[in-house]
Amino acid sequence: MREQVLAWLADHVPASRIEHILGVEQMALDLAAHYHLDAEKAAMAGLMHDLAKYFKPKQLLEMAQAEGLLLDEVDQANPHLLHADVSAIVARDQFGVNDQEVLQAIQNHTLGRPGMSLLSCIIFVADTLEPGRGNTPELEALRQISRQDLYKAVWLTCDYSLKYLLETRCLIHPRTIKTRNWAIQTATKKQQPLQNSSHLTRV
């Protein structure tokens, strides 16, 4: 299926975006191995997370509405935010993906979602932290944290995104705030190791 997806992407997104997608796929694979999660699911979600990235706003809205998704005023004002949800629809309808955890990881990669799975957490952070995003000290620190505590990585990745949105005076989707708050609460609860404690490095 991977070659089929890559061929489809070649017709629907620019080469620079494919480079990003491959970076997300690889980081998702690395993190899945690190946390002992299903590598095939991680690779699939990473490869398909941006299928609808370059769909027109009207198409995104129409597909989201046809799917029965509940849209708020931020979605309506910035339909591009729907590309994650619509990418999951394309993964299901175009490529026959029926694994709900994979579909949810695709859906959640932009705004996150309180209570999302570890696979969703991986795709969420990989989308922002894959190597092609740059090598600033802040990004490098976040990459290190992503291998120590996934929930803390989600929380700080939300902070990183929120800083950009505030500086550029963009609308902020309420789900981003809810995801951040959930991740903070989860990360600061009584220690809940995500992997064998012998491999866990504290921040």
User: Which position has the token pair 């509405």?
Assistant: 65
- In angstroms, rounded to a whole number, what is the distance separating the alpha carbons of residues 28 and 47? 9
Half-sphere exposure of 141 (CA within 13 A, CB side): 8
The string of DSSP letters for the chain reads: -HHHHHHHHHHHS-HHHHHHHHHHHHHHHHHHHHTT--HHHHHHHHHHTTTTTT--HHHHHHHHHHTT----HHHHH-GGGGHHHHHHHHHHHHH----HHHHHHHHTTTT--TT--HHHHHHHHHHHHSGGG---HHHHHHHHHHTT-HHHHHHHHHHHHHHHHHHTT----HHHHHHHHHHHHHHHSSP--SS-GGG----
Number of domains comprising the chain: 1
Tokens of 189: 């609860």
pLDDT (0 to 100) of residue 193 = 52
pLDDT (0 to 100) of residue 183 = 97
pLDDT (0 to 100) of residue 202 = 36
Please tell me the pTM assigned to this model.
Answer: 0.90
Contact between 85 and 55 under an 8 Å Cβ cutoff? The reply is no
Contact between 56 and 171 under an 8 Å Cβ cutoff? The reply is no
Query: What is the domain range of residue 192?
Result: 2-199
- Quick one: which of 148, 150, 90, 91 has its CA closest to 126? 150
pLDDT (0 to 100) of residue 195 = 47
Per-residue tens of pLDDT for the chain, all 203 residues: 999 999 999 999 999 999 999 999 999 999 999 999 999 999 999 999 999 999 999 999 999 999 999 999 999 999 999 999 999 999 999 999 999 999 999 999 999 999 999 999 999 999 999 999 999 999 999 999 999 999 999 999 999 999 999 999 999 999 999 999 999 999 998 555 544 433 333 33
CA-based max dimension of the chain: 50
State the CATH number of the domain containing residue 109: 1.10.3210.10
